[in-house]
Amino acid sequence: MINTRAKSAVENLLTDAGIQLNGTHPWDLQVHNDALYSRVLQHLDLGLGEAYMDGWFDCSKLDEFFYRILNAKLENKVLSNKKLLLTLLFAKLWDCKNKLFNYQTPSHAFEIGEKHYDHGNDLFEAMLDEKMTYTCGYWLNAKTLDEAQTNKLKLTCDKLYLKPGMTLLDIGCGWGSLAKYAAENYGVSVVGVTVSKEQAELARKRCKGLPVEIRLQDYRDVTEKFDRIASLGMFEHVGRKNYKTYMKVANRCLKDDGLFLLHTIGLSTATTGASRWLNKYIFPNSMIPSLKQINAACENIFTVEDVHNFGPDYDKTLMEWHKNFNAHWGELKSNYSERFFRMWNYYLLSCAALFRVRHTQLWQIVLSKRGIPRSYQSIR
């Protein structure tokens, strides 16, 4: 039986965002199970995501649905509603738990690899560009995903001022796209570390014959010195309680005159955890940093030489991944369930909306140990 009070509460909130229940716009929800309303009010983002995975509702433009929710700042409206406030407070207990416990210790380091990156190389080969770069592309003067990702790799290498004969540490090397590109185009030797067995295996194949070593290793266990360090899309898995440790490890592994490029998703406001749905189904133990948190971790360890924000480019990158994933679903579905299909689309489209509304950023930060004597020359 439908809970009319719950439906009315959800309907009023969605109306403020320009969204209708069973409406005609592509961002309107088409509800298949009236228990949706109570589920969302009881479990918020986790309830909404799981309801979509279970087929309780559909939306032809899920990214636009999320954009309107985020743009309308519905969470603030929940805060002002006494009847809904208690529900929000229970959800916020998740943040309190993340303040108390460290879920990114060495004993947990390989969980993200096992639960996300080891889904299967077939999934990521179908979804990503030809170089298999699972981070934001750089779309300046790019028309395709392949061009945007090549642009990003070149931008990264140029910001590091790579020269032949240098050594590069790639923390969180993925399937080896940066390692391969840097070795082939800049004449450097690369050590890449990842916590994903699937990534390590394929990266070794893709980098065969090049001066590239791929290790299945936690970043904290690297001990050598390098001329340069890069980390693309890995800092999101480090965790607030480990930011300082991460910077100390990078400092330990970087030569005194070296440069370190940190490429990370970021938030304008500091938080203590990711959304409960993303944490449960997509990125376990992950946490998005703020600039304040990054700067605090760098104090007395690194000098910030350059900060470059191209967050809107992630919206376009995610939409290209979404397009590729759906285009290849016919080839993939024998290995993945329909529930996974809905989950993965929900992930890609909800994240695209976060960048579209500028709630989430993408920063490339160049760091040095002692400061560049004649000042760092920024590259864009």
Query: Which residues are tagged catalytic?
Result: 351
CA 47 to the chain's CA centroid: 21
Contact 349, 66 (CB under 8 A): yes
CA atoms within 13 A on the CB side of 303: 13
What interhelical angle do 145-159 and 177-186 show, nearest 10? 60
Q: What is the 3-state secondary structure (H, E, C) of 47-90?
A: HHHHHHHCCCEECCCHHHHHHHHHHCCHHHHHHCCHHHHHHHHH
Q: Which two tokens stand for residue 351?
A: 């994240």
CA atoms within 13 A on the CB side of 208: 4
Q: Which two tokens stand for residue 257?
A: 């005159």
Q: CA-to-CA distance for 244 and 375, rounded, in angstroms?
A: 25
Q: CA-to-CA distance for 109 and 194, rounded, in angstroms?
A: 10
**Number of Cβ within a 10 Å radius of residue 15:** 12
In DSSP terms, 116 is beta-bridged to none
Q: CA-to-CA distance for 125 and 137, rounded, in angstroms?
A: 16
Q: Which two tokens stand for residue 331?
A: 């080839």
Task: Assign 377 to helix, strand or coil.
Answer: coil
| 212-216 and 360-368 strand pairing | unpaired
Q: CA-to-CA distance for 378 and 186, rounded, in angstroms?
A: 19
In DSSP terms, 74 is beta-bridged to none
Task: Assign 230 to helix, strand or coil.
Answer: strand
